């Protein structure tokens, strides 16, 4: 069913609502809620627009429970399913490339008519964005899953891939927004090979990361969010302390100071 939801707890337990007797009538995220920072100056008309960020999102879900056993037992299973002492992921099967980390925002009541119960849950997400259910190097096999770049790439564009062994290449970011590790967005860049003061440049964003150091193909250099690591140990102090961001769509890269190397990009995508 196109409106069906998948609920996944943080410990990996996964529930198909249709399979447990819960029909999804509606699951609709609100629009992004802008939060404007403005400054006003006495004697000046208008104001200075300083910055705009997005608040968390609210999502309304409307459901029907069909009890194949006693209604009270199935109702209690619903309460356990949406237990909001910790957040959980919800994916709508009509948009399986997006999952929302949510909690139920308030109490709710199942309105019983015989073995059927209607209920509405208002969910809240601390993030303004949905995220991909996996990463570019670990994307789950999922029914109806949209391929990365579907509807966004053109004939003649490069093949979408996330591991390279050439000094110039292009990486596709399926996100709606800039993937910026300084904003706690998940990404890992893994570099292996013969390295001598390597430099990674994203020509699209103008970002450049460099490290004053050497490595062999037995070593692993990882840019993990804001961290720079060699074999798990920090080398941040020997870098130029810059970060690599990814613009939506294609990002053109070049690498210097590396030979016989491979570089892989393990990205999470973010969607409005």
Reported as a single tens digit per residue, the pLDDT across 39-53 is 999 999 999 999 999
Q: Which of 68, 103, 128 represents a domain boundary (last residue)?
A: 128
Question: Do residues 171 and 187 both lie within one domain?
Answer: yes
Question: Do residues 142 and 262 both lie within one domain?
Answer: yes
Q: Which of 128, 152, 179 represents a domain boundary (last residue)?
A: 128
Exposure string of 32-62, with b = 16+ CB inside 10 Å and e = fewer, is eeeeeeeeeeeeeeeeeeeeeeeeebbbebe
Question: What band does 141 get if pLDDT is binned at 50, 70 and 90?
Answer: low
What pLDDT does residue 156 have? 86
What pLDDT does residue 139 have? 82
Strands, DSSP E only, in 127-248? 130-131, 163-164, 168-173, 187-202, 207-210, 214-215, 221-224, 227-230, 233-234
Question: What band does 142 get if pLDDT is binned at 50, 70 and 90?
Answer: low
Question: What band does 148 get if pLDDT is binned at 50, 70 and 90?
Answer: confident
Residue 135 has pLDDT above 80, yes or no: yes
Question: What band does 149 get if pLDDT is binned at 50, 70 and 90?
Answer: confident
Question: Do residues 156 and 58 both lie within one domain?
Answer: no
* Mean pLDDT value across residues 125-148: 81
Q: Which helix (H) or strand (E) holds 72?
A: helix 71-81
Smallest CA-to-CA distance from 203 within 136, 250, 265, 269 is with 250
Question: Do residues 181 and 235 both lie within one domain?
Answer: yes
Residue 2 has pLDDT above 90, yes or no: no
Question: Do residues 124 and 155 both lie within one domain?
Answer: no
Question: Do residues 109 and 92 both lie within one domain?
Answer: yes
CATH number at residue 244: 2.60.120
What pLDDT does residue 154 have? 83
Question: Do residues 124 and 186 both lie within one domain?
Answer: no
Question: Do residues 91 and 166 both lie within one domain?
Answer: no
Residue 86 has pLDDT above 90, yes or no: yes
What pLDDT does residue 30 have? 95
CATH number at residue 81: 2.40.30.200
22 vs 147, residue with greater confidence: 22
What pLDDT does residue 144 have? 47
Domain enclosing residue 93, as ranges? 5-128
Question: Do residues 95 and 202 both lie within one domain?
Answer: no
* Mean pLDDT value across residues 53-68: 95
Q: How many domains does the chain have?
A: 2
Of the CA atoms within 13 Å of residue 58, those in its CB half-sphere come to 7
Question: Do residues 97 and 39 both lie within one domain?
Answer: yes
Question: Do residues 97 and 196 both lie within one domain?
Answer: no
Q: Which of 128, 157, 190 represents a domain boundary (last residue)?
A: 128
Question: Do residues 143 and 256 both lie within one domain?
Answer: yes
């Amino acid at each position: 069913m196109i409106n069906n939801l998948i609920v996944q707890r943080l410990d990996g337990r996964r529930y198909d609502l249709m399979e447990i007797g819960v029909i999804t009538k509606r699951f609709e995220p609100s629009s992004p809620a802008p939060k404007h920072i403005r400054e006003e100056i006495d004697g000046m008309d208008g104001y200075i627009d300083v910055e705009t960020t997005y608040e968390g999102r609210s999502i309304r879900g409307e459901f029907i429970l069909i009890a194949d056993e006693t209604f009270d037992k199935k109702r209690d299973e619903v309460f356990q399913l949406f237990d909001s002492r910790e957040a959980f992921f919800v994916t709508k099967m009509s948009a399986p490339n997006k999952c929302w980390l949510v909690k139920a925002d308030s109490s709710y009541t199942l309105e019983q008519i015989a073995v059927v119960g209607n209920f509405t849950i208002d969910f809240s997400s601390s993030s303004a964005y949905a995220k991909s259910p996996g990463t570019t190097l670990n994307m789950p096999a999922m029914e109806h899953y949209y391929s990365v770049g579907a509807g966004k790439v053109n004939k003649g564009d490069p093949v979408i891939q996330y591991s390279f062994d050439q000094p110039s290449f292009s990486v596709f970011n399926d996100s709606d927004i800039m993937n910026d590790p300084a904003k706690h967005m998940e990404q890992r860049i893994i570099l292996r090979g013969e390295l001598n003061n390597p430099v990674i440049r994203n020509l699209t964003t103008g970002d450049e990361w460099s490290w004053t150091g050497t490595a062999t193909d037995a070593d692993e250099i990882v840019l993990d969010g804001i961290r720079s690591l060699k074999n798990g140990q920090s080398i941040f102090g020997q870098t130029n302390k810059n970060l690599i961001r990814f613009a939506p769509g294609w990002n053109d890269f070049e690498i210097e100071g590396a030979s016989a190397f491979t570089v892989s990009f393990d990205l999470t995508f973010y969607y409005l």
